[in-house]
Amino acid sequence: MVALIQGTLQLAPGVFAYFYHYAIGKHSFKKAHLLSPFFILGIIFTNALIFVTVASLITDSEILRAVMAGIFVALAVVGGVFYYRQGSGSRLYTPRKLASALLSGARNASSAHEAFLLGIVTGFSEVLFTVPLAIMVVLQVRTFESPIIQVGLISLDVFLTIVPFIVIAIMFRTGGNLADIERMRVRNKGFYRLMLCFLFLLLAAGLYNFGII
Amino acid sequence: MKTFNEKALKKDLLINAKALGIPSGAARTFADKIVKNVSKTLKNKKIITESDLNRAVLKELNVYNADLAYVYENRDKII
């Protein structure tokens, strides 16, 4: 469910699509295909860093789970009401200066390390949502004793997180363009908003009622 | 207030056209026409705002390519 929520978040896929579009326009399809894995690696690196930080700082307790349930209710409200700005397009809650900086970075990234750094910065721009979700994953993963299962579950979560990027890359490779992707994102704005709200509420209810999802 | 730079506009249009898979010859032809027509539209204005420029470019783009017009219109509204 956490991976599903992460897959619903729109900031990183938006930046990725914009980056891919400009990489094709400024360079070539080949260069865009070569650079895009580095952006995704940046996102994976950020997620891994968040997981490691959370795992080393968080200790499971009744109070923590109650606080997390409260945070998820708040995020359900944020996701449902404030995630998208009013008006046309798919403008998000992100502060405008940050959004401009990310879009400018996406327009100008032309090397592997710039794509990687853009991925890292983009990953950190969504910490409002990703840190509570990482705490949730760490709490659940710790209920398994085998380290192999723990690493496997976290790897699965990280993999599911990058599925939207793989879908966008496939869309570009199969003849799609930024206009198609953006139209799809705008068309599904309401659905993403509803999913975010519903899934966060479900997470909060599960945590509050059963202590486990 | 916005400074209208013909070269920058043409370059931006060509980059977006290439990314959308529009053949380079066609893109160059309509980019030239768009820049020329936008310059003509804005020629008499002493002060040009960003929305004046966007409106003029969009009006021209809609004639040539719907996808390019959509990307141009939404380029700052993606996140």
Distance CA A175, CA A169 (A): 10
Strand partners, A92: A84
Q: What is the pLDDT of residues A9-29, one digit of tens each?
A: 889 999 999 999 999 999 999
Distance CA B59, CA A127 (A): 39
pLDDT of B1 strictly over 80 = no
Distance from CA of B62 to the nearest CA of A (A): 14
Number of A:B CB contacts under 8 A?
A: 67
Radius of gyration of chain A (CA): 18
Q: Tell me the two tokens of residue B47.
A: 């002060």
Domain boundaries, chain A: 2-210
For A205, the token pair is 């209810």
B55 exposure class (CB count in 10 Å sphere: 0-12, 13-18, 19+): middle
Distance CA B17, CA A68 (A): 47
For residue A88, the chain B residues in CB contact (below 8 A) are 74, 77
How far is CA A170 from its chain centroid?
A: 18
B2–A contact, CB cutoff 8 A? no
Tokens, residue A133: 């979700």
Flag whether pLDDT at A129 surpasses 60: yes
Is residue B53 one of the residues assigned to a domain? yes
Cβ atoms of B38 and B9 within 8 Å: the answer is yes
Q: Does A17 touch chain B (CB under 8 A)?
A: yes
A48 Cα to chain B: minimum distance (Å): 24
- Any domain includes B1: no
List pLDDT tens digits, range A197-207: 999 999 998 88
Which range marks the domain in which residue B52 is found?
6-74
For residue A213, pLDDT beyond 60 = no
Asked whether residue A106 carries a pLDDT value surpassing 90, the answer given is: yes
What's the number of domains chain B is made of?
Answer: 1
Please report how many Cα atoms fall inside a 13 Å half-sphere around the Cα of residue B37, on the Cβ side. Answer: 16
Q: State the maximum Cα–Cα separation within chain B, in Å, rounded to a whole number.
A: 36
Q: For residue B2, what pLDDT is reported?
A: 55
- B20 CB neighbours in chain A (<8 A) are 177-179
Helix (H) or strand (E) holding A4: helix A2-8
| Interface predicted TM-score (ipTM) | 0.89
Q: What is the pLDDT of residue A71?
A: 93
The confidence band for A143, taking pLDDT boundaries of 50, 70 and 90, is: confident
Chain A residues closer than 8 Å to B74 by CB: 88-90, 182, 186
Range A33-37 average pLDDT: 94
CA distance A204 to B21: 45
Q: What is the pLDDT of residues A161-199, one digit of tens each?
A: 899 999 999 999 999 999 999 999 999 999 999 999 999
The whole-angstrom separation of Cα A151 and Cα A170 is 28
